[in-house]
Amino acid sequence: MGIKERKERQKTEMRESILDASLKLFTEEGYENVTMRKIADKIEYSVGTLYLYFKDKGEIFFELHSRGFAEFYNKQLSIQHIKDPIERLKAHGEAYIRFAMEFPEYYDLMFISRVPAKEIEKFEHWEEGERTYEILKLNIRQAMEAGYFKGVDLEVAAFSLWSFVHGIASLSIRGRLKMIPEQYLQFLISGALQFISKLY
């Protein structure tokens, strides 16, 4: 009786195939420039088929979003082995920006897009988000214990550093730095990260 198993396998394969195609299209052309028809074309099925596997376009995005957060979380964990708390904090900032640049569509959904009124409660108990914020606070606390951030409130420091990297990421993703040549922008960003690290 392997039929059921095979069917299930085929179903998840189909879902994967849709998500694959969607992610490629989203990153190439941006969420709103990707139509359901384009996705269907890419996987060589009809449009209606997409709706057998996903409730709507938003669900495709949200599934990718969850995967994005997993990726984000891992990226943050991957620098936790660094011993020196200051070096770790620097790497943390870099990892944050790198994620935003590599997966702008994910980043946009996670931190920039308007949250539809209906989905707002998903952000109220936003486990995935808070989990990563806790890593930041942990890193700052350990830097404090090592003698840095003298006389600074932990919450203020965390909020400030988050705002800072988010500022860079969101200005870039939403096209407000378009006038800056790519290479010079790279210089500015790494310069800014170095600049802010004087606060430590």
Partner DNA sequence: ATTATTAAATAAACAACGTTTAGTATTTAA
Partner DNA sequence: TTAAATACTAAACGTTGTTTATTTAATAAT
- Give the binding site for DNA (CB under 7 A): 3-4, 6-7, 10-11, 14, 34-38, 44-49, 51-52, 55-58
Distance CA 157, CA 187 (A): 24
CB 169 within 8 A of CB 107: yes
| Residue 126 contacts its own copies per CB under 8 A | yes
Q: Which stretch binds its own copies (CB under 8 A): 53-61, 66-74, 79-87, 169-177?
A: 169-177
| Residue 144 contacts its own copies per CB under 8 A | no
Q: What is the DSSP letter of 193?
A: H
- Considering only 32, 44, 81, 181, the residue that binds its own copies (CB under 8 A) is 32
- Considering only 8, 47, 156, 186, the residue that binds its own copies (CB under 8 A) is 156
| Residue 196 contacts its own copies per CB under 8 A | yes
Q: Where are the alpha helices (DSSP H) in the chain?
A: 3-29, 36-43, 47-53, 57-77, 85-102, 104-107, 120-124, 127-145, 154-173, 182-196
User: How far from chain centre, in Å, is Cα 3?
Assistant: 38
Nearer to DNA, 35 or 74 (CB): 35
Work out what residue 154 binds among its own copies, DNA, none; the CB cut-off runs from 5 to 8 Å by kind: none
To DNA, the closest distance from the beta carbon of 100 in angstroms equals 24
Work out what residue 111 binds among DNA, its own copies, none; the CB cut-off runs from 5 to 8 Å by kind: its own copies
Work out what residue 159 binds among its own copies, DNA, none; the CB cut-off runs from 5 to 8 Å by kind: its own copies
Distance CA 125, CA 39 (A): 32
Residue with tokens 């790497």: 91
Distance CA 194, CA 87 (A): 11
Work out what residue 175 binds among DNA, its own copies, none; the CB cut-off runs from 5 to 8 Å by kind: its own copies
Distance CA 69, CA 107 (A): 9
- Considering only 7, 9, 37, 174, the residue that binds its own copies (CB under 8 A) is 174
- Considering only 1, 5, 178, 183, the residue that binds its own copies (CB under 8 A) is 178
Q: What is the CA radius of gyration of the chain?
A: 20
